[in-house]
Chain A
Amino acid sequence: QVQLVESGGGVVKPGRSLRLSCVASGFTLTSYAVHWVRQAPGQGLEWVTFISHDGGNNYYADSVKGRFTISRDNSRNTVFLQMNSLRLEDTAVYYCAREDGDDYGDWFDLWGQGTLVTVSS
């Protein structure tokens, strides 16, 4: 079954760290760029970060730059999101998503089920 499965969410105090994982099954993640998108409770979608298929390129939203790091281990078909110096406003469901595309556009065609991160004192 082709799917992405996130894990690693939980409750953490402000200033602490958490690492999320996104494991692919049913396909080879090596061929794809991967993104993290988050959704605060009752709010819309916010793009967080991207990593290229080979890990050689990445981008971050200004809201997480310098605190979050995306990485990947293609031998394990896994992408990671290391979240440091967590803030209350980082509370959200975090989704990983696979990017596909062609000459006419890119799109996120496969999403995980999400993992909830709650930052609370």
Chain B
Amino acid sequence: QLTQSPSSLSASVGDRVTITCRSSQGISSFLAWYQQKPGKAPKLLIYAASTLQSGVPSRFSGSESVTDFTLTISSLQPEDSATYYCQQLHIYPYTFGQGTRLEIK
């Protein structure tokens, strides 16, 4: 089970934003982060906990500490307004976190 927090947040352009995903059991580094905009399919941002998907801006980064995983946006941009999901791909079912809705002030 994945517990994602916060469920929503509001931040300003240029802010540093952190979203956390905690697993109830060890999942090694089998965690991915996705961005979803309204009416669109999810888009892969980070895989293997910390590897940036090709074409994704470098302001996005991922890190892990045992069962805690973090997505960081170093300098928030207007186009980052979206919902973000973590997903564990270690054991079936491949569960998603509850999502974090990010709003730009």
Contact = CB atoms under 8 A, between A and B. Distances in A.
Interface of A: 35, 37, 44-47, 50, 59, 61-62, 95, 99, 101-102, 104-109, 111-114
27 contacts: A35-B94, A37-B96, A44-B85, A44-B96, A44-B97, A45-B85, A47-B87, A47-B93, A47-B95, A50-B92, A61-B93, A95-B41, A104-B29, A105-B30, A105-B31, A105-B51, A106-B32, A106-B47, A106-B89, A107-B47, A107-B48, A108-B32, A108-B34, A109-B44, A109-B47, A111-B41, A111-B42
Contact of B96 (A46, A62, A106): A46
Nearest to B83: A44
Contact of B41 (A46, A62, A104, A112): A112
Interface of B: 28-32, 34, 36, 40-44, 47-49, 51, 53, 85, 87, 89, 92-99
Majority secondary structure of chain A interface residues (helix, strand, loop or mixed): strand
Contacts of B51: 104-105
Contacts of A113: 40-41
A16 B53 CA distance: 40
A47 B87 CA distance: 9
